[in-house]
Every structure is written in structure tokens, then in C-alpha cells.
Structure 1
Amino acid sequence: MSSGEGLIEGFERRRLPGHGVEIDALVGGSGPPVLLLHGYPQTRMIWKRVAPALARRFTVVAPDLRGYGRSDKPEGDEAHDTYSKRTMALDQIETMRALGHDRFSVAGHDRGGRVAYRLALDHPAAVERIAVLDILPTAEMWAKANARSAMGAYHWYMLAQPRPLPERLVGADPEFYLRWTLRSWAAEGFAFDPECLEDYIRCGSAPAAVHAACEDYRAGWTRDQEADEADRGRRRIGAPLLVLWGRDYSVAKADPVKVWSEWAGEVRGQPVPGGHFQPDEAPEETARALLAFLSG
């Protein structure tokens, strides 16, 4: 049974300033700074088996994103700025500066990957290297939307609906919804680490977290898509970019290196075994790929 604090052995829990909120993070290791950002519907515990490997060579910072885990969960706003990836990127800038890091590398999975690439676009001087795990840019996802994506990624459409519809639907039985979601996005037969699964469900079931996740996806449909389209063809990520994807998940079918090459100048990529959750499903392969890339 876990403590509920979302702890990884060898890491210290810190409460740090974000952009008008407080961010709860784990900090460990020594060396050049690396920021690890989790996705939906998870917490920083996705890095349980990756962060210690990176911490042997890097100073690793693994926060819960705003709205997730133990970080603050502000109410959303009508313009959807509160949970835009631009705002969430500002959280990370302020958190890293509070730790003395003005320039760092960043790796983000799922929603954390969207925060990471927005951070690299908006704050190029802050980002040394960037890795995105199992995503395509938000604008590309919406531009390619069709009946197949509506069936396979229905949550993009459902969670972005006006409040309180998705909050009420998910909130009716959040544990069932979260277990279903996690199981259906992982490769067949995969079993999550029990401590991590418990953390995802405990944190993700709280009403404030359900609302925050919906706001995250509402921002994806509005502010995040607008920001991407404003940058498309005009601004590119200057830092070297690594894209990793699950061999058995949908991103693998989209030629992710080619797609990301439209958004960044230097792109490399590779698949790792499993479904959507590389840090959970293939931690050794993920850590190895990240170590090689982050070490330059």
C-alpha cells in the first residue's frame, strides 16, 4: 500500500511555485537538469522506474501537472486559459527557476508532452533538449480528426464538452472510468505497477481532478489548437527533439518522425514495446532511449 504522497525512492518531495499556483514535485539526482512531465490520466508516478535511472546522470524534477496529483487544481475559466498548455508551461518555467534552473531538458508523455513542446516553442532559451512520448502536435490531431479518431480517441471529444456534462459522466464512477481507460490504452495483457495504479486512481477520482482534466481537454480544443495554428509554418522548435511511441498504439501508424519534422528542425525517433504508456510498460527501453538522447 502506498503512502498517497506519490514518492519515488531516492527523491525528495518539494512544494514549489508555479504560475499563480503551487506545484508538487519530486527532485533527485545530480548533474544537468531534466524535467519529466506525466500525462492523462496519471501522475508523476509514471516515472517510478525511469526517474531513478536518469538520476544517476541528471538532476531530475518530476512534478504533478497543475490539476493533477498533489498540485493545485484551480477552477477553469470561460476562455480556457487556466489549463492551456501555454499556462502550464509557465508553471514549469517558474518551478525550474525556483530550483535554480534557467535552462534544462524536458521529456513529456501524453499531456505532459503537449506542455513540453509548447514550453520549447514559447521559451526556446530555456530548453536544451526535448523528448515527446506518444503524441503528435495538438493541431495535427484536430486537423486529422475523422470517424476513426472519434471512436479511438473519444475522450478528446467527450472531455472537451461544456461543463458539467463530462464531469458528471466521469464523476458517476471515476474508478471504473479510470481503470477502463488505463487498461484500454495499454498493450493487451499489461498489468500496471500496483502502487502506480493506486496513485492514478486515488488522485484522478477526486472531483477537483476530474474537473481539471476536463478543463485540460477543453483547452486542447480551444487555446492549445489556436496556439499551434498560429505557430504552424511560422515558428519551429529549435532544440533537438526525440519522439518515442508505443509499438502497439495508434501514434505508430502516423509516421511520427515525419509529422514532428514539420514542427522542429532536428528530429529523431523510435518505437518502444507496448501501448500508450511507455514509462509504465517499457521503463527500461524508455530510460535507455532518454539517457542516450539527453546525454547528447
Structure 2
Amino acid sequence: MHPRWFTLNGQDFFARTWGDPSLPPLLMLHGFPEYSGAWEEVAQELCDRFYCIAPDQRGYGQSYCPDGVENYRTGVLASDMAALAAELGAPVTVMGHDWGASVAYGLAMFFPDVVARLIIVNGVHPVPFQKAMAAGGAQSEASQYINALRREGSEEYLARDDFSKLLQLFSAHMDLSWLTGEKLAAYKVEWGREGRLKAMINWYRASTLVVADPGVPVDLPQIDTSRLHVACPHLLIWGMDDTALLPVSRKGLEEFAKDLTIQEIKNADHWLLRQKADEVAQIIRNWMSQ
């Protein structure tokens, strides 16, 4: 791994990189509550073919961390990564997980010229996800943590007892056996940087997505979905045991991505980048070779 700094939209961003810079770039976008190190195992599997670049996104790790919820709207986050893609020599292959998937979709939809291919790993397109969360069913129930995170002061609660509450949230009904020893210590370093935990949660506060109470569907306003399509080839990799994002959250995705390939991985949950790095990497290799 080689550290690298970028100046994006006038601000400093830290990234971890793997591989030869002369290889095709693969931009890897982490989710909550992770950081650029989340990609370590997958990048090591792919760095013989790609120059893997994993930034700490805005508010995370060592990167730019402004105050104010308004600084974490998805459009702002995507603008950061569009600038990075341009610096890497756009168009590039973009890969996102969890919240990083939301930014990756934002790039593909609103900055299509910088995205050659889109790879999503247990992440969701905003339209199917919003429909599922508004329905009052299983995804609404699974997403109640979003409303909890949005509450004032949630960052102080999650930081208590050496981040024990955050770890409980991180591992709810999923396998966190990989997060021990040096990995756990590294995560705590990133969570403990000044202002970072609040900034990470501000991603949720800035989002306009509505989470219905279980059993109480919410009527959604009509929106223009014409700009919410993915024109480039799109691969979705899905760990089937994910309890935070359920299969219903991707229902109808093919309406927004005509060139869509879905590959499912059994015995893996939301943290499949750590659990099944070799399998994730092989799926990517096979798809990119088509």
C-alpha cells in the first residue's frame, strides 16, 4: 500500500493506493462506518491488473472534514469523487460499497463522462431503495437505524465505552469476526479523529431519503427519474446474508441500468469485502474480461 494525497475542489483528501500507476485506475469508495482501509483485501487481489485508489471520503479518516450537515449532500460528495476521477484520467472504473455505492451511483448518473464501468457491492440505487424503505415492510424495519443515527447527539452515544455502541450497530445480525486485533485498532484510530464520527453521521442527516415506520407506508411524491439512469456497464455483487440491505432494496434496478449483471455470493453479508475478498475479486476479473 502506498499513501497518496489529492487536492479536490480545493481541499485535501487522503487515499491508499495499490499497484502500478500505469495500470487502468479502479476508484474504490468505502461506506459507513469504514475508511479507505476497507478495500485492503480486495485491492491486494486486484492490484496486478488495476491501479487501485481508495480515498478517505469527505468527513472520513484523514480527508477534508468540514462542519455542517449541508456539506455532506450526495451531490457534494459525488463532486469530490468526480474531481478525483478526472485527475486519475477519466473515464475510470468506479466501485462502491454501502454509502460509497450511493456516491458511485451519483457519479454514474450525474457525471457519466467520468465513469467507464460501475461496480456496486451491497449498495443500492436511490429509487428502488427509497421505494423499499417507504413501503413499511421488511426494508423499512431493517433501516430504522438510519432514523436513530439522524438523532441529535447520536455520535456521542456511539462513541461511548471505546466505541462499543458503534461496534454493536456495525455487527447487528452480521459476522464481524474479521474485525479484531490490528484491524479493530485501526478502525478506532479513524473513528477517534476529531469531528470524524459526527461528520460520518452527517451523511445520513444530509440525505433526503425517507424511512417509514414498520407497518406504516409513506406516500412518496412523484419525481423525475429521467436523470437517474446508469448508461455504462454495471455489475452488482451481492452478499446474500446482508440484514441491513435486503434483496427488495434492489427490486427494479434493471429499469435504471440496462447493461446490468448481478452476481450473488452465498454465506456472506454486508461485510463481504472482508469475508469474501477473493470471490469478489474473481467476479470482477471475469466481468471485466467480457
TM over 0.5: yes
Q: What SS does structure 2 have at the residue aligned with 1:268?
A: strand
Q: What residue ranges of structure 1 are gaps of 5+ in the alignment?
A: 1-10, 224-228
Among 166, 174, 178, the residue aligned to 1:186 = 174
Give the CA RMSD over aligned residues: 2.4
Q: Residues 16 and 262 from structure 1, CA distance in 2 versus in 1: closer, same or farther, beyond 3 angstroms?
A: same
Give 5+ residue unaligned stretches, structure 2.
211-221
> Helix, strand or coil for the counterpart of 2:86?
helix
Counterpart selection for 1:241 from 231, 234, 237: 234
Name the CA shift for 1:214/1:97 in 2 (closer, same or farther; >3 Å).
Answer: same
Q: Could you say which residue in structure 1 is the equivalent of 2:101?
A: 113
1:281 to 272, 275, 283: 275
Give per-residue Cα distances to partners, 1:121-169, cap 9 Å, x unaligned: 01111111001111222343333222644542222112223xx332333
Matching of residues 138-217 of structure 1 within 5 Å: 138-145=126-133, 146=136, 148-161=138-151, 164-173=152-161, 175-184=163-172, 186-187=174-175, 190-192=177-179, 194-217=181-204
TM-score after normalising by structure 2: 0.85
Q: 1:23 aligns with which of 13, 28, 31?
A: 13
Q: Indicate the SS of the match to 1:93.
A: helix
| Aligned residue among 109, 119, 122 for 2:110 | 122
Structure 1 residue runs of 4 or more that deviate by more than 4 Å after TM superposition? none
Cα drift, residue 230 of structure 1: 4.9
Q: CA 1:131–1:153 in structure 2 vs 1: closer, same or farther (change >3 Å)?
A: same
Residue 84 of structure 1: CA displacement? 1.6
1:243 & 1:193 partners in 2: Cα distance?
28
Q: Is the 8 A contact 1:65 1:71 kept in 2?
A: yes
TM-score by length of 1: 0.83
Change (3 A) 1:252 1:157: closer
Residue aligning to 1:56: 48
Counterpart selection for 2:31 from 29, 39, 46: 39
3-state SS of paired residue (1:97):
helix
Q: Retained in 1: the 8 A contact 2:19–2:50?
A: yes
Taking every aligned residue pair, what percent have the same amino acid on both sides? 26
Equivalent pair of 2:159/2:166 in contact (CA under 8 Å)? no
CA contact 1:185–1:277 (8 Å) conserved in 2? no
How many residues are matched?
273
CA distance in 2, matches of 1:160, 1:150: 15
What are the Cα deviations for residues 69-114 of structure 1, in whole angstroms up to 9, with x where unaligned?
Answer: 111211124xx2x112211111112223334x12100110000000
Confirm or deny: 8 A CA contact 1:29 1:59 kept in the other structure.
yes
The letter of the residue matching 2:283 is A
